[in-house]
Amino acid sequence: MPRVHVCEVGPRDGLQNARHLMSTEAKKAWISALAAAGLREIEVGSFVPPKLIPAMADTAEVVRHSLQIQGLKVVALAPNLKGFQRALEAGAHKVTFPVSASRAHSESNVRMTPEQMVEEVRKCARLGGAQIEGAVSTAFGCTMQGVVPEDEVVRIAASLAEFCDAVALADTVGYANPAQVKRLFRLVRSQIGSKLEGAHFHNTRGLGLANALAAYEEGVRNFDSSMGGLGGCPFAPGASGNVITEDLVFMFESMGVSTGIDLEKLFQARKILTEAIPEEPVYGHTPLAGLPKGFRAAA
């Protein structure tokens, strides 16, 4: 049976951009419920200066909680060496670094040029201690600089592939379309082969699922998504939520592609999210409409 692997990024990408703070206890309960629904990888937070993103101030505690969940790969985002060291100290299994292909976004997001950021990640990889994913942000376009040349994306992905365990392409601001997704994944894969793993899409213009399907057809099997479609980079103007986990899982399961995720249990996890920050807008068609009569999951 065909399978895909979903990494839930709501506790990081989602909550970093939410208007309402989720308590540490609620985060823990939410993550536990996500894992109980079958998520095997969750990006539980980021190690950035708490002054910059107060919602991420408790990431170390959230990581420590998540490490107690059996079989869960605990991921954290880091923007620099200091963040990586904090992630190692907390015990994260995997650390994701945002390496923007747009110089404008890179400087706004991490105050480094893309080249400086690549070198920062290289330093961390030399230290070792966790799996490292280099996520090429704004790979499909940037709200600050507009077009991001595909050559730039390839160049950064190739540099990252030298020392990262995996490389992902991220549509940080929801500019991608399915034809572009197929072209760029094919192009980058032709340069770095199976090091290219993940796809990180935002649903800003409603194309999140279409892009995910295009990537799937191009051979991608690792997808980031966010429960309730929360998300967005606070340092990229116009960024909004990720592709919605509930709808992504429904799409794949109904196609006969197994995600290992139980949709009913996923809806229970969504309840924890919406009760914890009731004023925060959440999205998702499948949870509102319910599963179709006679629906059968892939597995």
Beta pairing partners, 8:
42, 225
Segment lying near Zn ion (by CB under 5 A), choices 13-21, 37-45, 79-87, 247-255: 13-21
For residue 47, the minimal CB distance to ligand COA (Å) is 5
Interface residue with Zn ion among 8, 13, 133, 253 (CB under 5 A) is: 13
12, 79 Cβ separation under 8 angstroms: no
| Residue whose tokens read 């408790």 | 58
Task: Indicate left, alpha or beta for 53 from its phi (over 0: left) and psi (-120 to 50: alpha).
Answer: beta
When CB distances are held under 5 to 8 angstroms depending on the partner's kind, the choice from Zn ion, ligand COA, none that residue 272 binds is none
Active-site residue, 7 included: no
Token pair of 250 as six digits: 């429904």
- Tokens 């419920």 locate to 33
Least separation, in Å, of the C-beta of 64 and ligand COA?
17
Tell me the residue nearest to ligand COA as measured from the CB: 83
Binding site for ligand COA (CB under 6 A): 16, 46-49, 52-53, 77, 79-80, 82-83, 86, 98, 109-111, 233, 235
The residue among 141 and 287 lying less far from ligand COA, judged by its C-beta, is 141
What gap in Å lies between CA 62 and CA 76, rounded to an integer? 10
Closest CB to ligand COA among 120 and 246? 120
Provide the 3-class DSSP secondary structure of residue 151.
Answer: helix
Closer residue to ligand COA in complex, CB, 136/277: 136
Helices (H), the chain: 15-16, 24-36, 59-66, 81-90, 103-110, 114-127, 150-161, 178-192, 208-217, 245-255, 263-276, 285-289
Residue of minimal Cβ distance to Zn ion: 13
Residue 133 is a binding residue for Zn ion (CB under 5 A): no
Minimal CA–CA distance to 268: which of 36, 95, 55? 36
Q: For residue 15, what are its two tokens?
A: 């909550």
Least distance from ligand COA to the Cβ atom of residue 77, Å: 6
C-beta of 173: minimal distance to Zn ion in Å?
9
- Segment interacting with Zn ion, rule: CB under 5 A, options 5-13, 23-31, 40-48, 101-109: 5-13
Query: Of 43 and 246, which CB lies nearer to ligand COA in the complex structure?
Result: 43
Rank residues 32 and 226 by Cβ distance to Zn ion and give the closer one. Answer: 226
Picking from 116, 132, 148, 124, the residue whose alpha carbon sits closest to that of residue 236 is 148
Residues in the site for Zn ion, rule: CB under 5 A? Answer: 13
Catalytic residues: 233
